[in-house]
A and B are shown apart, each in its own frame.
Chain A
Amino acid sequence: MERHFDAELKELHKEILNLGALAEEAIFKSIEALKNRDKAAAQGVVDTDNRIDELELAVDERCIDLIARYQPLASDLRFITTGMKLNAELERIADLAVDICQRVLELVDKPLLKPLIDIPKLSAVAQKMVHDAIDSFIKKDVDLAKKVILSDSEADQLRNLVQEELVNDYMARDSSTASRAMPLLLIARHLERICDHATNIAEDVVYMVEAKVVKHHRQDLD
C-alpha cells in the first residue's frame, strides 16, 4: 500500500542525494585545485561551502519533522536515522574538502616541495570510497558498503606513507621545508578523514538495510 509518508521519504532521499552530489563535487574540485595548483578553483570550493551547510540544516529539519509527525518504525525509522547520520557525515566531508582547499591556498604561491605521488593515490581512494558509499545508500547495496568499509585500511596505509616521507625525508633533514611539508601532511590527513567518513556512511548503510550494527564490530562484516 502506497502511503503519503512514502512521498515524504522520497523527498528526504532526494535531498540527501543532492547533498551527496555536492560533497562529491567539493572533493573532486579540491583535488583538482591541488593537482593544478589552481587558486581560483580552491577559493571557489571555500566560497560555496555555505550552500552545503544550508542543505545540511534543511535535511536535519526534515528528519526531525518526519519523526515528530509520523513516529516512524522499523525500516522507516532506520532510513530516517541513517539519513540524519549521512547528513552529518556528508557535511563533514565537504568541510574537509574546504580544509584541503585552504591548504592549497597556503601552497600555491610557494615552490613545489616534491612531485606528488602518494597524495593523488590517496585522493583517488577517497573519491572512490565516497562515491561508492553514496552509491551503496542509493542502491541499498550492502556488498558495496562492505567493500567501502574494507578499503579504509588502504587509505590509512597511504596516509602513513605520505607522513613518513614528509617527516623523515624532508622535515627531519631540513626544517625550512616545514612550511611546505606541513600543508601536504595535513592534506593527507584530511583525505584520510574523508575516507573515515565514507566508512561511517557505509556502516550506516549496512544498519539501514540489514539492521545489523557493524560499526566497531568489523568481525561481523561477513
Chain B
Amino acid sequence: MAKIITKNLNLWYGDFQALKDINSSFEDKKITAIIGPSGCGKSTLLRVFDRMNDLIEGVHTKGEVFIDDENILGANTDLVLLRKKVGMVFQRPNPFPFSIYENIVFGVKIHNPINRYELDEIVEQSLKSVLLWDDLKDRLSDSALDLSLEQKQKLCIARLIAVKPDILLMDEPCSALDPQATQRIEELMRELKNNYTIIIVTHNMQQAARVSDDTGFMLLGELIEFAKTEDIFTKPKDKRTEDYITGRYG
C-alpha cells in the first residue's frame, strides 16, 4: 500500500528547476532508498515530504504530494501536524543542548502536554525502540552533547519516535558514522520499518542495496528509475542508472 504518492511534482529554487515531473509511490512500512549524484535533487525531494523547503526563499512547487490521500502541498496543510507525522533525521546528528531526557520529551510537550509519569514512559519506550535504553537509562539527565556520534544519531531518531510519526525521512543518516555504527543504525532501520515508512537518501550504494526494499535513482532533478532494490542493483532498465551504480557516470 502506498503511503506517499507524488504526481507531476516540480520544484524550483527561483529560476532553477530542482525537481522535474516526479511521479512516484512510496510503500507503507517499507524502506525506500533514493540514490543519485550530488545536486540531483534527492534531498530536495525528501524535504518536500515535510515541507522543509518552505523555509527557503524563492522556492515554489507545482504538482501534488499525497500522504495518506491528503495533498500536503495544499495551502491548508497544518505544518506542525505534518512535521509530527513526518520526522527527519539529518546527516550529522543534531541533539538539542539539553539532557538526554529533555531531548526526547521536547517535541512531545509541544504536541501534547502530559504528566511526568507519561513522559517517563515515552522516554523509556523511545529509547528502547532505538536500542539505547540499556546504555542510557541511568544517565538520562546527562547532556546529550556528551554522547558518541552513534548514540546522538540514535537519540535523534528516538526524539522523532517519541511524537509517534508515521514516516521517517533520513538524509545520509550514517555518513558521519564509522562502519560498525553504520551497521547498527542499519539494523535499527530494519527494526523500525515494522512500524514506520522510511525513506533514506544515501550516497552509499551498498547501504541502499543492503537496507532498502525499493530504490529510486535521480539525475538532474528527474526520477530516472524506481523499482525493487534487487532489480535496480542487478538489472537496471535505464542505461543512466546502470552507469551510475557501476561507477561509469561522470
A1 at interface, CB cutoff 8 A = yes
User: Shortest distance in angstroms between B238's beta carbon and chain A's nearest beta carbon?
Assistant: 11
Which of B206, B246, B249 is in CB contact (< 8 Å) with A76? B246
Asked if A74 and B249 sit within 8 Å, CB to CB, the answer is no
The answer for the CA separation of A76 and B235 in the assembled complex, in Å, is 10
Given contacts A211-B234, A211-B235, contact A74 B245 (CB under 8 A): yes
Once bound together, how far apart are the Cα atoms of A76 and B245, in whole Å? Answer: 10
How many residue pairs at the A-B interface have CB separations less than 8 Å?
33
**Total count of chain A residues near the partner, CB < 8 A:** 12
Interface string of B207-250 (1 = CB under 8 A from A): 00100000000000000000000000111100001100111111
In the complex, are the beta carbons of A73 and B246 less than 8 A apart?
yes
Instruction: Report yes or no: A5 in contact with B233, Cβ–Cβ below 8 A.
Output: no
Task: Among B209, B246, B249, B250, point to the contact of A75 (Cβ < 8 A).
Answer: B246
A145 to B: closest C-beta gap in Å:
17
- From residue A72, how far is it (CB to closest CB) to chain B in Å? 7
Residues of A within 8 A of B236 (CB): 74
Evaluate contact between A73 and B209: CB separation under 8 angstroms: yes
Nearest A residue to B242 via CB reads A74
Contact of B235 among A3, A5, A72, A78 (CB under 8 A): A78
Q: Among B205, B241, B242, B247, which residue has its beta carbon within 8 angstroms of that of A3? A: B247
Residues of A1-50 at the interface with B, using a CB-CB cut-off of 8 Å, are 1, 3, 5
Which residues of chain B come closer than 8 Å to A72, judged between CB atoms?
246
How many residues of chain B get a CB closer than 8 Å to chain A's CBs? 15
In Å, the complex CA distance between A75 and B234 comes to: 7
Shortest CB-to-CB span from A166 to chain B, Å, is 46
Let me know if A71 and B246 touch, CB within 8 A.
no
Instruction: Give every chain B residue within 8 A of A73 (Cβ-Cβ).
Output: 205, 209, 233-234, 245-246
- Report the separation of the CA atoms of residues A111 and B18 in the bound assembly, to the nearest whole angstrom: 83
Taking CB atoms and an 8 Å cut-off, the chain A residues in 53-86 that contact chain B are 71-78
Residue of A nearest to B235 (CB): A211
A77–B247 contact, CB under 8 A?
Answer: no
Q: Given the interface contacts A3-B247, A76-B246, does A71 sit within 8 Å of B234 by beta carbon?
A: no
Q: Among the listed B205, B206, B247, B249, which residue makes an inter-chain contact with A5, where contact means beta carbons less than 8 Å apart?
A: B247
From residue A12, how far is it (CB to closest CB) to chain B in Å? Answer: 15
Instruction: Give A76 to B248 CA distance when docked, in angstroms.
Output: 11
Q: Is the beta-carbon distance between B233 and A1 smaller than 8 angstroms?
A: no
Q: What would 17 A/B residue contacts be, using CB atoms closer than 8 Å?
A: A1-B249, A1-B250, A3-B248, A5-B247, A71-B206, A72-B246, A73-B245, A74-B234, A74-B235, A74-B236, A74-B242, A74-B245, A74-B246, A75-B242, A77-B234, A78-B235, A211-B234
Name 19 extra pairs, CB < 8 A, besides A3-B247, A5-B247. Answer: A1-B247, A1-B248, A1-B249, A71-B205, A73-B205, A73-B233, A73-B245, A73-B246, A74-B233, A74-B234, A74-B241, A74-B242, A74-B246, A75-B246, A77-B233, A78-B234, A78-B235, A211-B234, A211-B235
| B interface, CB within 8 angstroms of A | 205-206, 209, 233-236, 241-242, 245-250
